[in-house]
Structure 1
Amino acid sequence: MARRAPLLSVPESDVLRARLDRARAAAAGTGLVIAPGSDLRYLIGRPGGSFERLTALIVPADGAPALVVPKLEAPGFDGVAELGVDIVTWVDGVDPYRLAAERLGGVERVAVSDFTPALHVLGIRDALPKAEQVLAGPIVRELRMRKDAAEIDALRKAGAAIDRVHARVGEWLRAGRTEAEVGADIAAAIVAEGHTEADFVIVASGPNGASPHHALSDRVIEAGDVVVVDIGGPVAEGYNSDSTRTYSVGTPRDADVAATYAVLQEAQQAAVDAVRPGATAESIDAAARDVIAAAGFGDYFIHRTGHGIGLDVHEEPYIVAGNDLPLEPGMAFSVEPGIYQPGRWGARIEDIVVVTAEGAEPMNKQPHELVQV
């Protein structure tokens, strides 16, 4: 029955109060309903848990914000009142949606966080039948896309921690072991090297490397395999790492690996070099894609060049064709082109970068060369 969250590093109260003020200003008269998850953690320093009982941060157009929370869950939010947030507890038998509606007041529009369970979305709608419901994502992501100095420090910490894991992959990756066995060792190292958990581990060997989200299997790794290792997780501050390096088990069996991998290195570096304030997200995608296409591998680069990262592994901004968002200092995202040849092998290079006034600061420092183990 008990649900205990891992020990978290919580931003200073003045930082959180400023975020709440910016959220209200960005909402511009729209009431906000923020359910447990990364948006809640961004605003009050605690993610909470999404269960059948409603927990939600209510930010009305006017008046103090309130956390509507089951009384049995309230101890997990100690200190939130110091942010100027009223704590409104309820017990089984009380209608929490009515409590939320009362705090929202007579708003004409309510913005609900994107991943709120339908159970609660419909409950809010029934309690405020005349209010238009919209997604809160477009409001909150405008705040979260631009990382402050403390957030960037947390991303540096996460990047250094995952670099230490990649530096050790040669301890576990060898012929005769399965992807799952190697993945288990890597997952343990992710925690040992400074993360609170291993959020994902991809060990994609040989032909499995041609599937970008392969994850793990019982395939036995063979001499000559090219192996894609994509790993990451959160540090105590909640910010995530995500880094991919490509390895070979001994000399690659396919003669075209070296030349093809050199194209990938050139593409990844071209995209990083293109990062600067004012450049569009889609221009970074094009910088990588154009190099790969010119070498004849355009059909084998089958995903966007990158995704934003922070409290979520995937968040805004997305580095993809059609996204004309101008980059600004503080935006953080992956640069991860790949070349995937079905039935043969695949490769990907991924770093997290943060936009600076001059260009890009990589959060990952491990070499980009094909690593032979």
Structure 2
Amino acid sequence: MFEAIANIPVEELARRHDAVRRHLQTVAPEAGGILVFSRLNIYYLTGTFGQGVLWLPLSGDPVLLIRKGVNRARLESGIKHVLPFKSYSELAPLCAEVGSPFTPTIAAVMNGLTWQLGKMLEAKLKGYSIMPGDHAVALAKMVKSEFELDILRRCGEKHHRCLYSILPKHLHPGMTEREISHKAWEVFFAEGHMGILRMQAHGEEAFLGHVAAGDSGNYPSAFNGPLGLRGEHPGSALMGNAGKVWKEGEPLMLDIGFQLEGYHTDKTQAYFAGPDANIPDAVRKAHDFCIEMQNWVCDNAKPGVTPAELYAYCIEQADSRGFAEGFMGLGENKVPFIGHGIGLTIDEFPPIAKGFDLPLEKGMVIAIEPKQGIRGVAMVGVENTFEITEDGARCISGDSYEMVPVE
């Protein structure tokens, strides 16, 4: 009676399966396959946001086992074997029945399991050795296919249009952060934002993003990013605060993600309440430094270069040019990275940080976010999303980075 709204091509799914299998042989060489529990990773490997578990053997057909929503999974997924199950004790027999038996040693994506479910899995799969396999999926997701890049490019185009071209017409000094947040949502939804931002880090949340006027940009933050914010409330420290007004002479930072067809781009746009000529020299110099760092990374983020090299250059420049104190956050807000991978979640592999020496590859997508905190004033800077090409990184979220004056 029904047709799927959309499907990931079976050829694309096969490419993803092969990538996970290839990385699994390095990450967990003893394992004969991998169990995937997180719904987002199940979507990546099957095309359906299934509640259950995927068994992906090194050889043989993958098997998707679903607790709820079998009919939807069969509509959406290109996986041949989609089966219902109730207990983890059924997993091995069901997979064996369709010709993809469990192997003695099994890898698992463990960040998709609670402690309770992990212990239950061990109890139900006695006789099997289970080892971590998370990194195999993270590495596979790191390099995007043309199918994924097409979505991300369209996402980035919409993202830039919202923050740079449309939203400034709806902003004015005197608005509260909360009013700005709601106007941003209005504009984003009108352009096709699908209403959710997903984070990979356990326990981390995002809703719209950060709206920080003036000193809100340096307000103490528990979010793993450089931009501070007051947020709505301690119980929901996201978006913007109803009690904070964007005043004349203040910068405004909107660090807001866009989501299209499950994929994200990340972008921060800086605005100034007043004419361009009124931007203070300290604010302008700090913002220009961040643009310079972003552009240097863009030129140098080529296949073979490591994230650690990009990070080291930016830190050295901040230290030698008087920006060390506020670069990537003031005080406890300071973070040890200048960017991150992005895709089905905002915070994918790899971090652009010290110690990450796996070379960049063509087809990776990264967000670069040099930001500068100015004590007692604001935070300024940029963030954009880039596709790694043979010649360097190509921005897919716009090519105008200046602070936008709003009067």
Q: Which moved more, 1:199-208 or 1:56-65?
A: 56-65
Q: Deviations over 1:55-86 (max 9, x none)?
A: 1111235543211112x4212202467433x2
Q: Which amino acid aligns with 1:32?
A: I
Aligned-partner Cα distance in 1 for 2:359–2:135 = 16
Aligned-partner Cα distance in 2 for 1:112–1:268 = 33
Q: Which moved more, 1:12-21 or 1:318-327?
A: 12-21
2:90 equivalent to 1:99: yes
Aligned-partner Cα distance in 2 for 1:177–1:134 = 52
User: How many residues are matched?
Assistant: 355
Q: Which amino acid aligns with 1:146?
A: V
In structure 1, the residue matched to 2:361 is 328
Report if aligned partners of 1:30, 1:111 keep a CA contact under 8 Å in 2: no
2:318 equivalent to 1:292: yes
Aligned-partner Cα distance in 2 for 1:131–1:341 = 55
Report if aligned partners of 1:58, 1:65 keep a CA contact under 8 Å in 2: yes
Q: Which amino acid aligns with 2:311?
A: D
Report if aligned partners of 2:211, 2:252 keep a CA contact under 8 Å in 1: yes
Report if aligned partners of 1:330, 1:354 keep a CA contact under 8 Å in 2: yes
Compared with structure 1, are the counterparts of its residues 113 and 276 closer, same or farther at alpha carbon in structure 2 (3 Å cutoff)?
same
Aligned-partner Cα distance in 2 for 1:263–1:25 = 41
In structure 2, the residue matched to 1:3 is none
Tell me the CA shift for residue 141 of structure 1.
Answer: 1.7
Secondary structure, aligned partner of 1:278: coil
Residue of structure 2 aligned with 1:197, choices 191, 195, 198: 195
Aligned pairs for 1:218-229 (under 5 A) are 218=242, 219-229=244-254
In structure 2, the residue matched to 1:34 is 36
Aligned-partner Cα distance in 2 for 1:82–1:217 = 44
Aligned-partner Cα distance in 2 for 1:345–1:308 = 26
Compared with structure 1, are the counterparts of its residues 17 and 271 closer, same or farther at alpha carbon in structure 2 (3 Å cutoff)?
closer
Report if aligned partners of 2:265, 2:397 keep a CA contact under 8 Å in 1: no
Compared with structure 1, are the counterparts of its residues 296 and 35 closer, same or farther at alpha carbon in structure 2 (3 Å cutoff)?
same
Tell me the CA shift for residue 319 of structure 1.
Answer: 0.4
Name stretches of at least 5 consecutive residues in structure 2 with no aligned partner.
26-30, 96-100, 198-207, 220-226, 230-238, 328-333
Compared with structure 1, are the counterparts of its residues 109 and 178 closer, same or farther at alpha carbon in structure 2 (3 Å cutoff)?
same
Secondary structure, aligned partner of 1:40: helix
RMSD of aligned Cα (Å): 2.1
Report if aligned partners of 1:160, 1:364 keep a CA contact under 8 Å in 2: yes
Residue of structure 2 aligned with 1:108, choices 100, 105, 124: 105
Aligned pairs for 1:332-343 (under 5 A) are 332-343=365-376
Q: Deviations over 1:142-193 (max 9, x none)?
A: 2111111111111101100111111222123222111011111101211211
Name stretches of at least 5 consecutive residues in structure 1 with no aligned partner.
1-6, 50-54
Compared with structure 1, are the counterparts of its residues 232 and 108 closer, same or farther at alpha carbon in structure 2 (3 Å cutoff)?
same
Residue of structure 2 aligned with 1:172, choices 165, 170, 173: 170
TM-score (norm 1): 0.88
2:216 equivalent to 1:208: yes
Q: Deviations over 1:202-246 (max 9, x none)?
A: 21010011241424112011111111111113102x111210111
Secondary structure, aligned partner of 1:83: coil
Compared with structure 1, are the counterparts of its residues 73 and 132 closer, same or farther at alpha carbon in structure 2 (3 Å cutoff)?
same
Residue of structure 2 aligned with 1:73, choices 53, 69, 76: 69
Secondary structure, aligned partner of 1:110: strand
TM-score (norm 2): 0.81
Secondary structure, aligned partner of 2:357: coil
Secondary structure, aligned partner of 1:227: strand
Secondary structure, aligned partner of 2:394: strand
2:46 equivalent to 1:44: yes
Report if aligned partners of 2:304, 2:360 keep a CA contact under 8 Å in 1: yes
In structure 2, the residue matched to 1:144 is 141
Compared with structure 1, are the counterparts of its residues 256 and 63 closer, same or farther at alpha carbon in structure 2 (3 Å cutoff)?
closer
Report if aligned partners of 1:282, 1:319 keep a CA contact under 8 Å in 2: yes
